[in-house]
Structure 1
Amino acid sequence: MVDCDYEVNVPRQTVELDGYELSFRVPNEITQWRIEHLVAVEPITIAWILGFAPEDILVDIGAGIGVFTVTAALCRHTQVYAFEPQAQSFAVLCGNIEDNGLNELVNAWPAAITDTSGFDILNVMHSGAGNAHHSFGEAVNYNLHPQKFLSSQGSVSTTLDYLVAEGVVPVPTHIKIDVDGFEYKVIAGAAATLKNPGVRSVLVEINSGLVQHNQIFGVFRQLGFAHDPELTERTRRTEGMHKGIGEVVFRR
Structure 2
Amino acid sequence: MLPNRQFLHVGPERENKVQDHPVSTGVPTDPKLPVHDAATIRQMAVTAPDDIELFEVMGAVPLDDSMARYLERLAAVVVPAAGRSGAMPVWYAARIASMDAVAAVLGRIHCRRNAGVDVRCFRIDGGSSYRIAFGDKSVKFRVANDRVERTLKFLPAIEPALLARIFCLHDDDVMLDVGANIGIYSVLAAACGARCVSVEPFPVNIVELRHNIEANELTDRIKVVEKAVGKAAETGRMAYSRDIAGIGAQNIQSSDRFRHGKKRPEISVKIETVDNLIERGEIPAPTFIKIDVDGDEANVFAGMEDLMRAAPPRLLMVETTPDKPTAFKIQFDLETSGFRRVPGDQDKNMYFELEAES
TM-score, normalised with respect to structure 2: 0.61
- Between 1:31-40 and 1:76-85, the stretch displaced more is 31-40
Residue aligned with 1:167, SS: coil
- Report SS of the residue matched to 1:60: strand
| Distance change (3 Å), C-alpha of 1:198 and 1:188 | closer
Query: Displacement, 1:9?
Result: 10
What is the deviation of 1:251? Answer: 2.9
Alpha-carbon distance in structure 2 between the residues aligned to 1:66 and 1:139: 27
Equivalences for 1:165-244 in 2 at 5 Å? 165-197=279-311, 199-228=313-342, 231-232=343-344, 234-236=345-347
CA deviation vs aligned residue, 1:166-209 (integer Å, no higher than 9, x gap) = 11111111111111111111111111101124521111112223
C-alpha separation in 1, matches of 2:284 and 2:307: 10
Q: In structure 2, do the counterparts of structure 1 residues 185 and 73 end up closer, same or farther at CA, with 3 Å as the change threshold?
A: same
Residue 99 of structure 1 aligns to which amino acid in structure 2?
A
Report the residue type matching 1:78 in the other structure: A
Amino acid of the structure 1 residue aligned with 2:349? G
CA contact (8 A) 2:315 2:351 kept: no
The match for 2:352 is 249
2:320–2:350 CA contact under 8 A, matched in 1: yes
> CA distance change for structure 1 residues 123 and 10 in 2, over 3 Å: closer, same or farther?
farther
Is the CA contact 1:84–1:110 (under 8 Å) kept in the aligned structure 2?
Answer: yes
SS across alignment from 1:227: strand
Q: Does the 8 A contact of 1:127 with 1:151 survive in 2?
A: no
Tell me the equivalent position of 2:141. Answer: 24
Report SS of the residue matched to 1:119: strand
CA distance in 1 between partners of 2:128 and 2:352 (Å): 34
1:10 offset after TM fit, Å? 9.7
- Report Cα offsets for 1:66-125 as digits up to 9, x if no partner: 010011001x11000101111101110000000000000001122111112111211111
Q: C-alpha distance in 1, partners of 2:157/2:183?
A: 16
Give the fraction of aligned pairs with identical amino acids, expressed as a percent. 24
- Larger-Rg structure: 2
CA distance in 2, matches of 1:171, 1:147: 41
Give the corresponding residue for 1:87. 203
Q: Which runs of 5+ in 1 are unaligned?
A: 1-7, 237-244
Structure 1 Cα separation of the partners of residues 168 and 157 of structure 2: 18
Name the structure where helix makes up a greater proportion of residues: 2
Q: Whole-Å Cα distance in 1 between the matches of residues 261 and 158 of structure 2?
A: 25
- Residue 34 of structure 1 pairs with residue 137 of structure 2: no
Partner SS state of residue 340, structure 2: coil
Q: Which residue of 2 aligns with 1:111?
A: 227
Distance 2:132 2:221 in 1: 20
- Partner of 1:235, secondary structure, is coil
TM-score with structure 1 setting the length: 0.85
Q: Which has the higher contact order (CA 8 A, sep 6+)?
A: 1
Do 1:206 and 1:213's aligned partners in 2 also have CA atoms closer than 8 Å? yes
Counterpart of 2:235 in 1: which secondary structure?
strand
